[in-house]
Structure 1
Amino acid sequence: MASKIRLEDRECPLSTTLGVVGEWWTVLILHDCFDGYSRFDEFEANIGLSSSMLTSRLKSLVEAGILERKPYQERPVRYEYALTDLGRSLRPVLVSLAAWRNAQLAPQERSMILVDSRTGREVEPVVVDAATGDRVDGTQYVYAAGPSAGDAMRKRYEGVANTHVEART
């Protein structure tokens, strides 16, 4: 999936991701989008962020290709914000972040839980390999230098088993 995200010269996907969504209010804006909110006043009311900061974050998310801005009213012109395909692909990331925190809490201490909308049953998300369905949180899964890794990244992962990772097509 091609993206509009272009931040500094960061080779590490973790730092690039955090550069886009690493601020708490950005995560809350995205959370609101996944809950169906799309308008500036809704974000402002739900998050309690100043209008100037909210304007800045929304602009950044649009520039990164995570949200798109569409007019919903002509006079005066007002806009709503919708997740793009790239933005929707962040849902598992947010689900994983919430699950990580909830795992640290007793069930009665959790203020928000993930449930199956059909049954109401609480679910516990895990990250799995798409090809095998195996969980990837075990120590046998490691990072390795990828096809476009620069010298620093290759040096960092030198000696890691199977350091040459084939690009997915």
Structure 2
Amino acid sequence: MDMFYAASTSGFYDPSIHQRIPPDAVEITHAEYEALYAGVASGFDIEIDSMGRPVLVAPQPLPVEDLRAAASAQLPAWEAAERTASIEHAGRRWLTTPEALQDIRDALLAGLVPGGVWIDAAREPVPMTLAELQALWAACVTRGAAIYQRRLMMEAEIAAMDAGQLVTFAPNWPA
């Protein structure tokens, strides 16, 4: 049994299943349906030709400004992930979540390391002096500054990219 395609809904209709078929639907063979369906799955679009028949067409490229906006929209999530990924310092891994950074700030403002121990990312207690905690804080600040500088660099790179580069853009650190 043949199928139908309706441009108004961009949908396929099987009369053995669908009771209502849009009035603009055109009848297509099962082979045409399979070819159209496979084409859409491969990234092609369906348009109606001059004879009113559905045909596969290559998708229209997005305007460069839309691609630029999409690339830029990836940066906040990248930055947030980098800021909470933890850091390596003094041979250990340390949390850099907002809560962990606030704990370090609080201890530094108080001028003490409670019990002379700090907890690393593996939840292991580590003997620590105030000077060592200050060094950890300095490493966190340095890492945060590097992340911010990289984001600024990527913003500038995005502004100068062409459409091909924007399509493949993914936030990252330089190799």
TM-score normalised to structure 1 length? 0.25
Q: Which has the larger radius of gyration?
A: 2
Q: Which has the higher strand share?
A: 2
Please report the TM-score for the alignment, with normalisation by the length of structure 2: 0.24
